[in-house]
């Protein structure tokens, strides 16, 4: 066996270099990849490494205040509680919102996977908020859920509450915008994962006498779980980098002082590019840690075919 392979390799080596490379998948076709790779190197890898390098060139003021030589930015990041606390503030916003979006999408996607009249219309309506964007959602929420808005007015006039609820300019307002922009996205992804599961598996469980609870817990959920993990990651990424709504409908100096806001403050208001890059890089690191944890959990889940995808 091993001699045969060796002989084959020996024989191949007499062919031209181009031929041997082509056998390993390196041929002229790869040239089509070149623009994309060049693009990624110039516009993503270079600025990113430049930014990382910048974090080790702190401004003199930062060094004087925090010490630590070239690591002064990091010392400041972990030492300055005004900046460091923004990690928890961001997590407290992004994690519950992403979890909520995923968990609520599951039963809804489950119910709506059957055909019914107006399904296409409903799907279209659910896509709508994706096009609204965070800035517009923020403006609408300020008017709709503000003290004089229709929501409070309705609740007061129908006698449910006596004082207007404080729904905007705080933690709750930002959560609302995260749900409004994140939920349709989670729903679309989960329903497409759900449609990728072969319905005959469910039918087979039914013939074996499983009730819907057993079918869901034992058949559908294990098949869906990897998709749920992916959806969670993508919604979390969206919620984690929340920036305009935290400023507009949130309480940007208090409960919604998220990391993106802090990075922008250093960048545009303090013109401290190195500190801004430090916060930005730490933001990426923390997000990647969360993603890595979810992916690690996902690796214990079922990974085979779900039977439905063509």
Positions 165 through 194 that interact with other proteins (CB under 8 A): 176, 180, 183, 188-189, 191-193
For residues 139 and 117, give the distance between their C-alpha atoms in angstroms, rounded to a whole number: 33
x/- string (CB under 8 A) for other proteins, residues 142-161?
Answer: xxxx--xxxx-x--------
Least CB distance to other proteins at residue 8 (A): 19
Is the Cβ of residue 7 or residue 119 nearer to other proteins in the bound state?
119
Is the Cβ of residue 11 or residue 32 nearer to other proteins in the bound state?
32
Q: How many CA atoms, within 13 angstroms, populate the side-chain half-sphere of residue 188?
A: 16
Taking CB under 8 A as the criterion, the residue among 1, 128, 160, 253 binding other proteins is 128
The answer to whether 272 contacts other proteins (rule: CB under 8 A) is: no
Least CB distance to other proteins at residue 68 (A): 21
The answer to whether 58 contacts other proteins (rule: CB under 8 A) is: no
The answer to whether 211 contacts other proteins (rule: CB under 8 A) is: yes
Beta bridge partners of 197: 307
For residues 226 and 234, give the distance between their C-alpha atoms in angstroms, rounded to a whole number: 13
Assigned token pair, 190:
């989960």
Helices (H), the chain: 2-13, 17-23, 34-40, 46-55, 60-66, 72-79, 81-111, 119-144, 150-157, 171-195, 199-207, 212-214, 221-240, 244-248, 259-264, 273-298
For residues 119 and 107, give the distance between their C-alpha atoms in angstroms, rounded to a whole number: 16
Is the Cβ of residue 288 or residue 296 nearer to other proteins in the bound state?
288
The answer to whether 117 contacts other proteins (rule: CB under 8 A) is: no
Q: Phi and psi dihedrals of 146, rounded to 5? A: -70, 180
Which among 67-75, 81-89, 106-114, 218-226 is the span making contact with other proteins, rule CB under 8 A?
106-114
| Size of the residue set binding other proteins (CB under 8 A) | 102
């Amino acid at each position: 066996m091993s001699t045969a392979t060796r002989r084959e390799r020996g024989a191949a080596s007499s062919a031209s270099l181009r031929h041997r490379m082509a056998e390993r998948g390196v041929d002229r076709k790869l040239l089509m990849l070149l623009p994309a790779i060049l693009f990624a190197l110039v516009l993503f890898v270079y600025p990113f490494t430049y930014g990382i390098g910048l974090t080790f060139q702190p401004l003199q003021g930062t060094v004087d205040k925090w010490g630590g030589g070239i690591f002064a930015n990091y010392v400041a990041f972990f030492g300055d509680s005004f900046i460091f606390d923004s990690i928890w503030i961001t997590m407290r916003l992004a994690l519950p919102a992403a979890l909520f979006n995923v968990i609520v999408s599951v039963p809804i996607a489950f119910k709506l996977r059957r055909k019914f009249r107006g399904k296409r219309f409903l799907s279209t309506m659910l896509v709508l908020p994706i096009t609204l964007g965070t800035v517009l959602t923020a403006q609408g929420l300020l008017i709709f859920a503000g003290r004089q808005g229709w929501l409070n007015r309705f609740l007061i006039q129908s006698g449910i509450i006596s004082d207007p609820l404080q729904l905007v300019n705080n933690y709750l307002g930002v959560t609302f915008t995260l749900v409004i922009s994140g939920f349709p996205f989670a729903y679309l992804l989960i329903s497409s994962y759900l449609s990728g599961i072969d319905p005959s598996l469910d039918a087979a469980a039914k013939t074996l006498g499983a009730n819907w609870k057993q079918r869901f817990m034992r058949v559908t959920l294990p098949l869906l779980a990897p998709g749920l993990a992916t959806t969670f990651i993508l919604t979390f990424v969206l919620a984690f980098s929340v920036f305009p709504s935290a400023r507009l409908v949130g309480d940007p100096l208090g409960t919604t002082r998220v990391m993106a806001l802090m990075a922008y403050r250093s960048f545009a208001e303090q013109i401290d590019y190195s500190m801004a890059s430090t916060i930005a890089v730490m933001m990426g690191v923390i997000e990647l840690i969360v993603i890595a944890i979810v992916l690690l959990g996902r690796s214990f889940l079922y990974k085979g075919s779900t039977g439905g995808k063509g």
